Structure 1
Amino acid sequence: MTLRVGVVGGGQLARMMIAPAVELGIELRVLAEEPGMAASLAATAVGDYRDTDTVLAFARDVDVVTFDHEHVPHHVLTALVAAGIAVHPGPDALAVAQDKLVLRARMAELGAPQPEWAAVADTDQLQAFIDDHGGRAVVKTPRGGYDGKGVRVVSAGTEAADWFAALAEDARGGMLLVEELVDFSRELAQQVARTPSGMLRTYPVVETVQRNGVCAEVLAPAPRASAALAAAAEELGVAIAEGIGVTGMLAVELFETVDGRILVNELAMRPHNSGHWTQDGAVTSQFEQHLRAVLDLPLGDTAATRPWTAMINILGGPSDGSLDGRFEAAMTAHPAAKIHTYGKAPRPGRKVGHVNVAGNDLDDVVYEARAAASVFAD
C-alpha cells in the first residue's frame, strides 16, 4: 500500500521533499498557501493553513501530516489530533518552536545551556535588563520571526517601543523576549532525526554563517570542531529531541562562545537550511530522513560521503528574474557544483536556491560553491 504524507506549506522545503518521496514510493501531497509556490509540483490543495476546516479536509486521507514551516496555529494542530490524524511533529513539540518564550522556558526546564533571558512587558523592564547585561541586549518578538525578522540589538528600552505598542493593541496581549548579547565566536547547528517510536539518528555538527540575519553559508562538518565539542552538540541535540518529543527532523541552532561553550539559540522542527548540504554530502538527505521519520520507517545512514561539503545560498537572484543562460554558465565553469533552485521570484535577500559542493579539501569546496552561486547574482 502506498504511504501518503501531507505537507502543510508550499515552500522550498516541501519542494525538496518531492524527489525523495518519489524514490521511496511515497505519495506526497501539499497544501499550498497560493498557486505557483515552490512546491506546486506536488500541490494537491490550495488554502489557508490557519483555517481548521481547510486543513482537516486536506488531511483526512493521508497517513501523516507534517510541515514546511512552524506557523500552523495550535488550535488547528489540536483539531487534527482530535480527529485521529497523525501529526508529526505534534502540537506540544511545535509549541516550543512557535514561541520563543516557550522555547526559553522549556530549555530551562531541560537544563539546556542558553543565553540569559527574560520576558519583558514594557520599556522599563527592557531597560532594566539592558542595564544588568552590559548596556546592550537582543530583543525578539516571540512569534513569527525568521531570517532576522523580529530581532533587534538594542541599547535602550525605547528602541522596542513600537513593538510594545503593537502588543498593547493586540487583544491577546503578550510580552517580548530579551536575551543577553552573547559573545560568540561562531554559530553551529546540530540536526537530529527522531521517529514516533523513538529511533534516533544524528548528523555531524555544522558551522553556519549568517549575513544580515539570513543563513548564507554552511560548512559540514564544522571546521576546527574538537571531538569534545562535536560530542557535546550531539548530546545536547538528542536530549532536546527526546525531552520535548520531537518527531521528524530537528535543527538545534547553537552559539559557540569565545570561551568554548555552546548555547542554544533557536530550534526548527522540520528540514532546515543548515541541513541542505545533506542532499549532496550525506548518505541520507535531511528531506528523505524527515519522510522516513514522520512515517516511523527505519532511519537512514547520516554519515558524510566526502570529508567536506559547502552549501552556499543563492540570495536575491538576478534582477531581471531570468535564469536563462546562468545554469549553463555555472555548470560549465563549476561541474562539481550541485545547483538547487526553488522556483521563486527573486527579490533582495530572498533565498531562491542554493549550491552544494562536496570534496576532499575545504578551501576548494568553499571556493567552487561560492563561485557557482555568484553566477546567479547580479
Structure 2
Amino acid sequence: MDKPKVVLGVSGGIAAYKACELLRRLTESGHSVRVVPTAASLHFVGEATWSALSGQPAATQVWDSVHEVPHVRIGQEADLVVVAPATADMLAKAAHGLADDLLTNTLLTARCPVVFAPAMHTEMWENQATQENVATLRRRGAIVIEPAVGRLTGVDTGKGRLPDPEAIFEVCRRVLARSAEGQGTDLAGRHVVVSAGGTREPLDPVRFLGNRSSGKQGYALARTAVARGARVTLVAANSELPDPAGVDVVRVGTAVQMREAVLKAAAAADAVVMAAAVADFRPASYASGKIKKRDGQDPEPVVLVRNPDILAELSADRPRPGQIVVGFAAETDDVLANGRAKLARKGCDLLVVNEVGERKTFGAERSEAVVLAPDGSETPVPYGPKEGLADIVWNLVTERLS
C-alpha cells in the first residue's frame, strides 16, 4: 500500500529543532514525509538535516525543480499538512491567503486536513491580531492546536511553547485516521469544555474525601475533540496524566473550584462534557491541624454537606443558546434505571452511563457504556478503548449542534 503522504512545514522559530523529533516519529510510523521549511527556519535547522531525516529533498522556493510544479503538486498530493512550529507570521499569512514561498503556496493548494502547531512568545500569541487569525483558520476547518505553557526563549515563561512532538504526532495520527475513514473536522470552529479526574474534599491538611477517577476518559474526550478541529478547554481535577497537545488545561482540586472553572469556560462554549467524578459531599468543617488518634477514644463523626450540582446548574441555566450539555453517571447497580432517573433529574442533553467498581472503568484503558437521551434513545458503546467512547460522544454532540 502507498504510504500516507505528509507535508511537514517548518516556519522560522527557535522551536524548529523540535520538528526533527516529529519528523522521526512520522517516518518511523510508516508515513512518507516531505519537509517544506521556510527560508527563515533554515537559520535554526539546515536543509541537509531535513533531507537526511526525511529521505526526500527539502526545498523552500517555488523555483526549485520548476518542471515538477512543486508549489501546486506538493499540496495536491498530500494526505496531511502539519506546520510545526507555526509562527505568528505564518498564521497571519495562512489566514490571509498570502503565498510568497513554497510553504504558503502548499497551504493554498492543499485539499487535505491541515494542522498548525503554534509556537511564539506569550504576548504574540495573545495579541488580538493573532487570535483573529487563529479564529479565521479554525472557522475554515484548519486544526490550530493550543500552544503549551512553559519555558520560552530566554528566561520567559508562559503560554506559547510548542507542544511535545509526541503529542503533536498523536494529533496527526488521529486526524489521518479520521480522514482515511472519510470523516472530517466536524468540530472546526467550535469551543468545547471537558471536565476530567476526581475532585478531592479536604478534611485536614493530610486527608481528603475522594474517588478512584484517573481522568483517562476526560483526557480521551479532549484529545479526540482536538483531532476533530475543536478548541478545547480541559478542567482537570487531581489527574497525573500529561497535558494533551493543543488543549487549554485548567487545574482544580475541589468541587467548588471545578464549578467556578467550568462555569467560566462554559460561557463561551458550544458544548460542555462533564466527565469528571465530582464529589457529592464535602466535610462541613476543615481541621487546620491533623486530626489526632487518641487512645481509647472514637473519632468525632465527620459531618458532610452537599457540594454544588454543576451538571444540573449548567443544564438549567445555559450561558449560550443551543449549548449542548453532556453528563456522566457512574453506577454500581441498576445501571440503566438509575441512569434514566439521573438524566431526568439533571436535565442534560445526553448522559453517558457506565458500571463502575474497584476493577471496572476507573483507571482502566478500556470501558463500555450506554449513552442515554431524553427522547428515550439508547446508544450502546461496546467494550473498547476510551477514545472510541469519546468519538461516539462527539458524534452525538455534533448531530445536535448541527
Larger Rg: 2
Length-normalised TM-score, structure 1:
0.32
Length-normalised TM-score, structure 2:
0.30
> Higher RCO, 1 or 2 (CA under 8 Å, sep at least 6)?
1
